[in-house]
Structure 1
């Protein structure tokens, strides 16, 4: 049996995670499957950006643009952890955490999802930053750190827009008139 590449292992991991979320998380937590899917997209786009790593390639720039539009979704999923308060984890009389298996399953799935998206999204951002350093700024050592800073700043703006203005990157394609 051939050995799976890092990309295929990650694809399989997220496929299993998405299926598990879809199967086990019900309202009001059923939004997690969509958010994890949106957070996975920049990881996949990052794989393809590296595949077309030629600064003269239209595919490279198009995929990099898509990656940039969807990247804030990866760390955004961390903000979904605020919804854990809907579980009411403490007993009203003693304030001790409840021993409810369903509550702990939801907690585990949400934490696993949030950390998976944030960690693997950040890894892909670091890989793209190194690629951009090599392609666009090879004479400036450590310029990948500038790329990381720029992407992190833009991601922070994207998270703010998504969490507080309630505009999500998917709306750019579903209802672009909301943005323009």
Structure 2
């Protein structure tokens, strides 16, 4: 799918003679970071013993995780497309969005496998929905407020202030809950399909 996405982008650049939508490559790269982090943590033999390291990596993972789901909001750029390339661009952006979103869902699955060693199933029924809500809030911070994951380090004071101000607004809460439910439904759907195949 990644090769397919990149191929579409190259074909579009060749046809139109411009690199509009090339930012999708960067967004897909950001979507891949949390997956690589959680996979790295899973293959560590000592992640159960070294809790400080585990929690630190999970914190970084959580900071980057919304990027996986954020990429679906790049569909907003379809309105900048020329009528002659509209349907091609729709397929192109949707393909990148699908890959990024799928990577995000898979990241949550990998996180769940790690979390199962620390928490029971009842706790996970609470943790996963909260995680999806936080991803929804992260998407809001990125798309609406235009923050990036690295603003946690480069601009932490303003980020904390804006988070405090935004969390009390109905618009932010509704967006975060709505997007969180959207993510959670895809997560549960994939889990049902996976469990069905396993049985």
Relative to the length of structure 1, the TM-score reads 0.71
Distance 1:45 1:31, change over 3 A: same
Q: 2:152 aligned with 1:172, yes or no?
A: yes
Q: 2:155 aligned with 1:155, yes or no?
A: no
Cα distance in 2 for residues equivalent to 1:74 and 1:59: 23
Q: For residue 38 of structure 1, what is the aligned residue in structure 2? A: 30
Alignment of 1:115-134 (within 5 A): 115-132=98-115, 134=116
Judging by fraction of residues, say which structure has more helix: 2
Alignment of 1:9-158 (within 5 A): 14=2, 16=3, 19-20=6-7, 23=10, 24=12, 26-52=18-44, 53-89=47-83, 100=84, 102-132=85-115, 134-137=116-119, 140-158=120-138
CA shift at 1:49, angstroms? Answer: 1.9
Aligned residues, how many? 152
Cα distance in 1 for residues equivalent to 2:122 and 2:128: 10
Deviant stretches of 4+, over 6 Å: none
CA contact (8 A) 1:130 1:144 kept: no
Cα distance in 2 for residues equivalent to 1:34 and 1:18: 13
Q: Which runs of 5+ in 2 are unaligned?
A: 161-199
CA contact (8 A) 2:5 2:92 kept: no
CA contact (8 A) 1:55 1:135 kept: no
CA contact (8 A) 1:129 1:145 kept: no
1:23-66 CA distance string (max 9 Å, x none): 45545422211111111111111111212332524432222111
Relative to the length of structure 2, the TM-score reads 0.65
Structure 1 vs Structure 2 CA RMSD: 2.6
